Structure 1
Amino acid sequence: MFGLLTPCAHGAHKYGIDPSQWRAHMCGLCVGLRDGHGQLARTATNTDAMVLSMLTETQLGGPVARTEAGPCALRGMRRASVAAADSPGVRLASTASLLLGAAKIRDHVDDRDGSPLLRRPMAKVSGRWADGARAQAALIDLDVEPLVAAINSQGALEARAGATDSRPISLDELTAPTQLCAAEFFAHTAVLADRAANVEPLREAGRNFGRIAHLADAVEDLEDDIAHERFNPLAATATGVDDAYDLLRRSDTALREAVTEVGLDREPTVRWMLLDPLSSLLTGMGRDLGILAPSAHYPQYPDQYPPQNPNDPNRRRRRPNLLEGIGKFLVQYPTGYACVADHDRPCSGRRKKAWIKRMDCCDCGDCCCDC
């Protein structure tokens, strides 16, 4: 799995949401990729794409389609009720995951990463996933060709940025393909939900989300890219991390304004799976960069979303079994899924050392839990 957004179960309890809702979308996307494109396609599961499934469901309202999924190591070999693979939201999320996964693999091939023996098989997988994205998009009436063209133009933009005899290229131009793709995916959630009034605001929200995703990745990889002489949009445009972080915060504000315009800011799942993780991402990044980044405080609507008390003695607690422990050790911790596993203990009130990047994800009190 890859992606920026990782909602924490503590946030779900804050809004009175069952944390398994995130798992329902994740597993639904994973099963949808498997059923439509084979077992290998499951590795394209993207946590950011799951937001598309959630946004579609939220705008549709009413009963949601669920199906029973078999045992899986990510769930401690337990069954689960997951989003149906043929639901419009999962199909849209599958399209996004395959398209972004294909682009990510092709980037590794173009950068000549890894063994030369793997580059040809990787290129074939990239092409197969891109074809799968086209087939998946046809099922939901999404014209994916402009998005494919935008992704394919990224290499030319980067080459132009590195050329000394061409017009200087701006940071916004370098992030434009990502912005376009995210904008169209977000807008299509409103199309699938038959909410015409939501299309343009969500397109704007998606455009800002794409900018955040691209810039956050650039900031995080800056030192490593410079050390290995790889392309980085910040280095190519002589943009300092302070300026990049300021643009990230302004994009986050614009995204929230667009979401508020369509009234989705008061939806608990939207706040938990999209807005709060973005807040945590920017706060953590600002702290790591040494930039003063006070935690954002947003209204919690306590009357509408009564919080759950993790210390309530009547709250049902589940004892992990042996298979679940093995699954967490082999799968959950390496993938980062553990941060949304079922939390049975309250937050310890102190940050814990991350197993991997952004493993210290908790938004509750700016600390980390015992996940």
Structure 2
Amino acid sequence: MFGYVVINEPELKIKDYREYRGVYCGLCQTLKRKYGPFGQLCLNNDMTFMALLHMSLYEDEEAGRERMYRCKLHPTRKQKIYDNPCLEYAADMTLVLSYYLARDHWMDDRKPEALLHMHLLRKKVRKLLKIYPRQFQAVRNYVYRLEAAERAGEKDLDVLAGLTGTMLGEIMNWKNDVWADMIRETGFYLGKFIYLMDAYEDLDKDIKKHRFNPLTVYKDQQDFEKKIFSMLDLMMADCARSFEKLPLHLDVEILRNILYAGVWSKYMKIRNDKNKTEEVRDESL
């Protein structure tokens, strides 16, 4: 589920890339401070995007502070990182989503590491339940409804992707304030995009392991790749339309880089990897 909402680094100005790294590394350090080194392992680009969006929307209310930090993984120079309530919220949501992602891996593959992951996160997640009941309920509803839809063999992509969209929209709706509808709508279409991208990337693996994937019935159609791109394009067009309604001023070019270029660089990488795999298969015949 994670890893699709990324920057397109070559298209970013150096100052914007450093700004993005400041938020990304700030989230990493917030996870470490609140949840220890294991919390850092849950770090992902998708929640970095959410933090960046909230920092832009609530720049006057949640300014927080900046500080210089020398990362152990990059010890040659210090870099600016952020510390603010937007990153606190992103860290908390990262943990909740990571717990349910581990649960999904356990249900799918019965991997012992996924069960261990759940065990390590369970107590921390229970505390967050009391702080964020609305968001927690949205994630829980999503998990159970998606499982039920998959067991029933639901084939309607709009229904399935909409479950992820509804959940992410509620997660991104931090304060449930005057901007709630626009944020929910942005998150809704972004969530639908993420669901379809995840299904697209995992399709061959899911077929091999006899796991549910709604794209299985479309795979052998002649215009399969064109259909996938068209659906993804429509979802991101709707997401961008909602995003542009928000009164954002800070780091808007970075956010646009992610929505207009970053997500597509990820799509192209997945598509190219699939093409290479197909070429290898053809050569082996």
Report TM bin, short chain: 0.7 to 0.9
The residue identity in structure 2 corresponding to 1:24 is G
Residue pairs, 1:237-276, within 5 angstroms: 240-262=224-246, 264=248, 267-276=252-261
CA offsets 1:50-102 (integer angstroms, 9 cap, x no match): 11111111112359323436432343364433221xx2311221132112211
Root-mean-square deviation (CA, aligned residues, Å) is 3.1
Could you say which residue in structure 2 is the equivalent of 1:81?
80
Aligned partners of 2:194 and 2:260: how far apart in 1?
13
Identity %: 22
Runs of 4+ off more than 4 Å: 236-241, 263-266, 282-290
- Gaps of at least 5 residues in structure 1 are 162-167, 291-352, 354-371
Do residues 160 (structure 1) and 181 (structure 2) align? no
Could you say which residue in structure 2 is the equivalent of 1:7?
7
| Deviation of 1:121 (Å) | 2.3
Contact 2:236 2:259 in 1 (8 A): no
Aligned partners of 2:10 and 2:248: how far apart in 1?
21
Judged with a 3 Å threshold, the aligned counterparts in structure 2 of structure 1 residues 120 and 208 are, in CA distance, closer, same or farther, namely closer
Aligned partners of 2:146 and 2:30: how far apart in 1?
28
Q: Which secondary structure state, in structure 1, belongs to the residue aligned with residue 4 of structure 2? A: coil
Aligned partners of 2:233 and 2:272: how far apart in 1?
13
| Deviation of 1:289 (Å) | 6.8
Aligned partners of 2:252 and 2:114: how far apart in 1?
44
Deviates more, 1:229-238 or 1:241-250: 229-238
The residue identity in structure 2 corresponding to 1:66 is R
Could you say which residue in structure 2 is the equivalent of 1:64?
63
| Deviation of 1:155 (Å) | 1.9
- Of 102, 115, 124 in structure 1, the residue corresponding to residue 119 of structure 2 is 124
Aligned partners of 2:129 and 2:77: how far apart in 1?
33
Q: Which secondary structure state, in structure 1, belongs to the residue aligned with residue 104 of structure 2? A: helix
- What number of residue pairs does the alignment pair up? 271
The residue identity in structure 1 corresponding to 2:52 is M
Deviates more, 1:217-226 or 1:266-275: 266-275
Aligned partners of 1:137 and 1:172: how far apart in 2?
28
Contact 2:145 2:163 in 1 (8 A): yes
- Gaps of at least 5 residues in structure 2 are 277-285
CA offsets 1:122-150 (integer angstroms, 9 cap, x no match): 33135345325435637xxx542232222
- Of 27, 30, 50 in structure 1, the residue corresponding to residue 28 of structure 2 is 30
Deviates more, 1:204-213 or 1:266-275: 266-275
Contact 1:95 1:137 in 2 (8 A): no
Could you say which residue in structure 2 is the equivalent of 1:180?
166
Residue pairs, 1:85-234, within 5 angstroms: 87-114=84-111, 116=112, 118=113, 120-128=115-123, 130-131=125-126, 133-134=128-129, 137=132, 143-161=135-153, 168-188=154-174, 191=175, 196=178, 198-234=179-215
Judged with a 3 Å threshold, the aligned counterparts in structure 2 of structure 1 residues 273 and 89 are, in CA distance, closer, same or farther, namely farther
| Deviation of 1:119 (Å) | 5.4
Judged with a 3 Å threshold, the aligned counterparts in structure 2 of structure 1 residues 69 and 110 are, in CA distance, closer, same or farther, namely farther
Aligned partners of 1:136 and 1:24: how far apart in 2?
27
Contact 2:48 2:90 in 1 (8 A): yes
Aligned partners of 2:262 and 2:131: how far apart in 1?
28
Aligned partners of 1:131 and 1:237: how far apart in 2?
40
Contact 1:222 1:234 in 2 (8 A): yes
Aligned partners of 1:110 and 1:103: how far apart in 2?
10
The residue identity in structure 2 corresponding to 1:270 is L
Contact 1:52 1:92 in 2 (8 A): no
In our comparison, the structure showing a higher alpha carbon Rg is 1
CA offsets 1:245-275 (integer angstroms, 9 cap, x no match): 3211100111111122235499223213433
Aligned partners of 1:35 and 1:136: how far apart in 2?
18
Contact 2:8 2:265 in 1 (8 A): no
Judged with a 3 Å threshold, the aligned counterparts in structure 2 of structure 1 residues 289 and 42 are, in CA distance, closer, same or farther, namely closer
The residue identity in structure 1 corresponding to 2:116 is P
Aligned partners of 2:182 and 2:39: how far apart in 1?
31
Aligned partners of 1:185 and 1:17: how far apart in 2?
29
Q: Which secondary structure state, in structure 1, belongs to the residue aligned with residue 30 of structure 2? A: helix
